[in-house]
Structure 1
Amino acid sequence: MKMSRRNTLLLGAAFGAGLLPSLPTFAQSAKTPKAGGILNAIAVGEPTTLVPLLDSNTRTRVISTKILEGLVNFDDKFNPRPVLATSWSISEDGLRYTFNLRQGVKWHDGKHFSSADVRFSLLAFKRLGPRGRITFANVTDVETPDPHTAIVVLSKPTPFLLRALTGGETPILAAHTYPTDDLTTSKNGTSPIGTGPFVFEEWKRGSYVKLKKNPVYWQAGLPYLDGVVTRFVGDGASASIALETGEAHLSNDVSLVDIDRLRQNPQLSVDIYTDAYLNNAQIFEFNLENPILAKTDVRHALAHAIDRNFIVDAIFFGAAKPAASTIPAVFSEYNDEVPFQYPFDPQKASELLDGAGFSKKDDGIRFSLRLAFLPGDTFKKTAEYLRSAFGKIGVRVDILDGDLGTYIKRIYNERGFDINLNGISRLFDPTAGVQRLYWSDGIKNVAPYVNAAHYNNPEVDKLFRAAAVEQDDAKRASHFKKIQAIVGVDLPNFAIVALPTIVARSAQAQSIVTTIDVTSGDFAAVWLEP
């Protein structure tokens, strides 16, 4: 199959030395894998669901990818590899993707996997997925001429479609586990049935999720592990301690302040990656329905009050990287990152606020704002920094705390915030990941992580629509750069830092990273050295 040049965009990305993250590479062990054992993982915070249909948060996908599978996955050079699809072809006009499906695959409840499941899944994600309305906007149907063939029919070319079909992004779901049209009522979200190497066994709320080996997995001889247990803790320090005491084999959530100490432990290994599939970032979003924040100069002022280098050094200990654009720097052809448009300049911030009619009152306060943040240690610390930074220019900030469910409800349903410190996966393509930050459709069709600002610019919508179907890279890049110029002035949101992905593990745990998206591998090849 001929691959577009877009599939090689990530190869040229590079970061500096020290703690700065690198793109994932798959280390091959010279040792013979051993079967058996339970991998104990530690996660900070608990997911709201175990299926990323309604909530695509990373907490969900790092567990779900062990249970559910996609049609393909990707190696460290972004080359596609067969999973539930054994091969595929694309019509000359780019409007039909034909997938030949793997035969003999069974769901964990014993029923047979078929093309009907593929059809159900893609259309379900198109209808309900937080990113699906954008990713699959051009999907008109999924034809199923036989149980082992699925043909995705498009109204317009969708050059990034194949990249969206991984187990982490668009897992194939068992259609029979969703018996009614109201997919939100299915028990599959809390006790999922998949085709993957591990079978769901138990979710003890507030404590752990337990998975066991799939004895009839379609990959002969896999998985090596007898099971995976993910235990939930309250902070990164607890995750670090669990690794040091041998209680856990793996965590993606260790405290950054502990990294140097963990690296000095000969029984542990710590690697810092750029997840080139998710491209996670801290994004600062303005609620444009607030009349104060509706003023462009106010948004510009708040952007000038943020010292991204301080955040990188003091909160991320050098492991993150300042971000100048919501389009990831790894998309070098699409990105127009110029020297930061809003450099740290508190004096200019104050002047802009004065000019916007918000002078300091007798108590030194211009106005007050409510700041919500995505639950997590670094987000909480960044929120506290922002409160201090904005306070220095006369803006009082009240921080709104809460768990993930409370956060999602507050931001996307209740609109009970003024500024939002969010964690956004900018994903494998700007159409799939970045567009949702600006897409006006997200105002009327509410979904988590979609346009929290309620930004509405018809020209930006038009440019995103054009980019979504453009197959010429140069023309596509032109659309994205025009978008960057417009939203850089409108500033409905503000990219702060590109987030690192940390893999801290016991020396016993082998073959952890096997896909481009780092922590969202299936763990089929993971094994424990005695």
Structure 2
Amino acid sequence: MRIRLAATVLVTAAALLLAGCSGSSPAPAGSGDGKPVAGGDATFVISGRTWAHLDIAAPAVTPVKGLINAIYDGLLRMTPDGKIVPWLAKSYETSPDRLSWTFHLREGVTFTDGTPFDAEAVKFNLERQVDPNQHAGEGGNLPQDITVDAPDEHTVLVKLSEPDEALPSALATTAVGLMASPTAVKKWGAEYGLHPVGAGPFMLDSQVVGQQVKLVKNPDYWVKGEPYLDSVTYRTLGSADSALQTLKSGGADVMDSVAPQQANAVGNDASLTLTRNPSLGVNLMMLNTTKPPFHDVRARRAVGYALDQQTLSTSLFFGYFKPTESMIAEGSWASPGQTVDSYPSYDLDEAKKLVADIGGLSFSFKVPNSSDWLQQAAAIQSMLAKAGIDMKIEAVEPSKKIADFFSRNYEAIHFAVPGLPDPDNYVRPFFDSTAGANPSGLQDADLDALFAKGRTTAGDDARKDIYRQVAQRMGETAAAVYISDYPWMTLQNHRIHDVEFLPTGISYLNEAWVDGK
């Protein structure tokens, strides 16, 4: 069986710099007749992100999404043009009352440890994601009271207490839809994240945790003839500049997650191609609403008023990242647009008034200890100082930042991820007081009610109106101060072909191949 997803849109850095927005250009020319060839190794370099484990149901899920999705396949997938398609589930349907979903599984699929992929394995994985003792970082994307039945070996029935219109999107774009070997999870227990086993195109060969991991081809992958690559290596480097230099020198094929500074530095280098997808994510400052100073909404709004997004976009982000006043970004079907009336957009006088009203404002801002994010923090620090706000910068390791984020061990913390197309999967888990994560600690009954309505209401038009109200209420509560939007950008050389880059930050490698083995 041959499955070919829609081709990704490739955008050259030169075109971006000239046009100031996304455009398209032909994919890099391959060797010979341009058909995929088997063999060879590909290397991805990243910066500003790392991993402490490779467990899809851990409290803090590994942020290197391409790595995770090379090891694990999911029930469903999202294509680069935003469609949800069956994957390990060959088909699925919902009941007329939308309270049950039936998934028909592919036959003959096994995990890389030989464990059969069947209905019991799906039941195990979904129940693990909602197990309150597991504290799965993305488990909040599933209704916490679901029941999962396995009426036969290749059929799974998911029953809900109320409709969940975002369920297919959650299964296609978040960790809750990825499948791990129940045998391996039970064998390794708390250490499973160091010994991940999926049914994806690659499997773990070796790793230095948080620094480098090598994956090798799954010889029994269920898609006939794939993957083409013999192995894939992921390396994390200390700075985005070093990652870019490694790519330019031939030490890597793809730079995963490119900052505006590096995109700008590439200029019109014809040896590299930049992929820039429509933004689904937001680059923001999350404020801990459970303790001083940000238990006071006036303090939160003061920070919003003091931050000049347009200046940051122009002077620091070279136009690649743009101002936004909603966490539901422009790439989402539910986007309310770049401006939201209730959001405390830049107004230095209003910021000063609020600071005076609360008797001064000081706080610590945790950021990853990479040069680009530290440069951004320094620019924000200077802006806030003009309003009389004393912001201290606390640089931390990326893995610690993730742990602190989900445990609310912060006053303010940097948060930037590519995002997801459905707000129920991407926005609700961070601000709904009934959600499993809620790292902001926000307790707002009006917002909770809107999230519940958005999840259970059928029809994109009706849901879009609800999420417009969500954006308005979020602007009022100001639990997050938006710095910019966050389009996912990658750079690749011309040696590698057919990597599927999604705006969610996921990259699929089952069809990837390289020249010159």
TM-score (norm 1): 0.85
Equivalent residue for 1:37?
40
1:15-26 aligned within 5 A? 18-21=19-22
Give the aligned partner of residue 138 of structure 2.
Answer: 131
Write the mapping of 1:335-346 to structure 2, written as runs, cut at 5 A: 335=336, 337-338=338-339, 341-346=343-348
Of 231, 235, 250, 1:231 maps to 235
Greater Cα offset, 418-427 or 314-323 = 418-427
In structure 2, relative to structure 1, the CA distance for the partners of 1:27 and 1:529 (3 Å cut) is closer
Counterparts of 1:22 and 1:145, CA distance in 2: 48
Q: Which residue of 2 aligns with 1:143?
A: 149
Deviations 1:330-350 (A, max 9, x none): 335552653664332222211
The separation in 2 between residues aligned to 1:441 and 1:94, in whole angstroms, is: 22
Structure 1 unaligned regions, length at least 5: 1-14, 359-365
Q: Of the candidates 339, 364, 371, which is equivalent to residue 370 of structure 1?
A: 364
- AA at the equivalent of 2:54: L
* Secondary structure of residue in 2 paired with 1:373: strand
Number of equivalences:
493
Q: What's 2:7 paired with?
A: none
CA distance in 2, matches of 1:156, 1:220: 39
For 1:3, the equivalent position in structure 2 comes to none
> Which amino acid in 1 is paired with 2:511?
A
Q: Distance in 2 between matches of 1:412 and 1:221?
A: 40
Matched AA of 2:331: V
The 2-side partners of 1:347 and 1:242 are apart by 45
Contact preservation (8 Å) 1:54, 1:130:
yes
Q: In structure 2, what is the equivalent of residue 11 of structure 1?
A: none
Pick from 134, 152, 156: which aligns with 2:158?
152
Percent of aligned positions that are identical: 22
- The answer to whether the 8 A contact 1:244-1:262 is kept is no
- Give the counterpart letter for 2:107 in structure 1: Q
Question: In 2, Cα distance between the equivalents of 1:474 and 1:266?
Answer: 42
Match of 1:187 in 2: 191
The CA RMSD measured in Å over matched residues stands at 2.8
Which residue matches 1:288?
A: 289
Q: Which residue of 2 aligns with 1:208?
A: 212
Instruction: Return 191-200 or 25-34, whichever deviates more.
Output: 25-34
Does the aligned pair in 2 maintain the 1:214–1:223 contact within 8 Å?
yes
What whole-Å deviation, never above 9, does each CA across 1:133-184 have from its counterpart, x for those lacking one?
2x2116521111111111111111111211112375320111122228xx9x
**117-126 vs 166-175, which moves further:** 166-175
Structure 1 residues 271 and 24: CA distance shift in structure 2, 3 A: same
Q: How does 1:452-463 map to 2 (within 5 A)?
A: 452-463=439-450
Please give the residue correspondences for 1:61-460 in structure 2 after superposition, counting only pairs within 5 Å.
Answer: 61-127=65-131, 128-133=135-140, 135-137=141-143, 140-166=146-172, 169=175, 170-179=177-186, 185-274=189-278, 279-333=280-334, 335=336, 337-338=338-339, 341-354=343-356, 356-358=357-359, 366-374=360-368, 376-413=370-407, 415-441=408-434, 450-460=437-447
Counterpart-to-counterpart distance in 1, 2:219 and 2:488: 31
SS in 2 for 1:62: helix
Distance 1:132 1:21, change over 3 A: farther
Partners of 1:307 and 1:90 lie apart in 2 by: 46
Task: Give the distance between the partners of 2:427 and 2:102, measured in 1 at CA.
Answer: 27
Unaligned 5+ segments in structure 2 are: 1-15
Residue of structure 2 in register with 1:505 after alignment: 492
Shift of 1:384: 1.4
Instruction: Give 1:260 deviation, angstroms.
Output: 4.3
Change (3 A) 1:410 1:333: closer
Q: SS of the counterpart of 2:64?
A: helix
Q: How far did 1:517 drift?
A: 4.3
Deviation at residue 417 of structure 1 after TM alignment:
2.7
CA offset at residue 194 of structure 1?
Answer: 1.0
Q: CA offset at residue 114 of structure 1?
A: 0.9
Cα distance, 1:518 vs structure 2: 6.1
Q: Secondary structure at the match of 1:92?
A: coil
Name the residue aligned to 1:9.
Answer: none
Deviation digits for residues 243-268 of structure 1, max 9, x if unmatched?
11111111124453333453533332
Q: Measure, in 2, the Cα distance between the counterparts of 1:205 and 1:384.
A: 30
Q: The residue matched to 1:20 in structure 2 has which SS? A: coil
| SS class of match (1:52) | coil
Mapped partners of 2:412, 2:220: distance in 1: 49
Question: Distance in 2 between the 1:317 and 1:33 partners?
Answer: 36
* Shift, 1:80, TM fit: 2.6
Q: Residue deviations 1:366-405, cap 9 Å, x none?
A: 3421111255544322221221111222222211111123
SS across alignment from 1:309: helix
Matched, 1:524 2:510: yes
| DSSP 3-state at the match of 1:288 | coil
Secondary structure of the corresponding residue to residue 261 of structure 2: helix
Specify the code of the residue in structure 1 equivalent to 2:473.
Answer: I
Compared CA separation, residues 313 and 107, structure 1 to 2 (3 A) = same
SS at match of 1:401: strand
1:210-260 CA deviation, whole Å, 9 max, x = no partner?
001111111111111010011121011111111111111111244533334
Q: Matched residue of 1:166: which SS?
A: helix
Partner of 1:361: none
Q: CA deviation at 1:510?
A: 0.3
Q: Which amino acid aligns with 2:287?
A: F
Distance 1:58 1:28 in 2: 33
Q: Is the 8 A contact 2:290 2:442 kept in 1?
A: no
Query: What secondary structure sits across from 2:415 in the alignment?
Result: strand
Q: Secondary structure at the match of 1:322?
A: coil
Mark the CA change 1:17 to 1:160 in structure 2 (over 3 Å): closer, same or farther. farther
Structure 1 residues 24 and 53, CA gap change in structure 2 (3 angstroms): farther
- The answer on whether the counterparts of 1:263 and 1:270 sit within 8 Å (CA) in structure 2 is no
In the alignment, residue 147 of structure 2 is paired with which amino acid?
A: D
Structure 2 CA distance for aligned equivalents of residues 282 and 271 of structure 1? 18
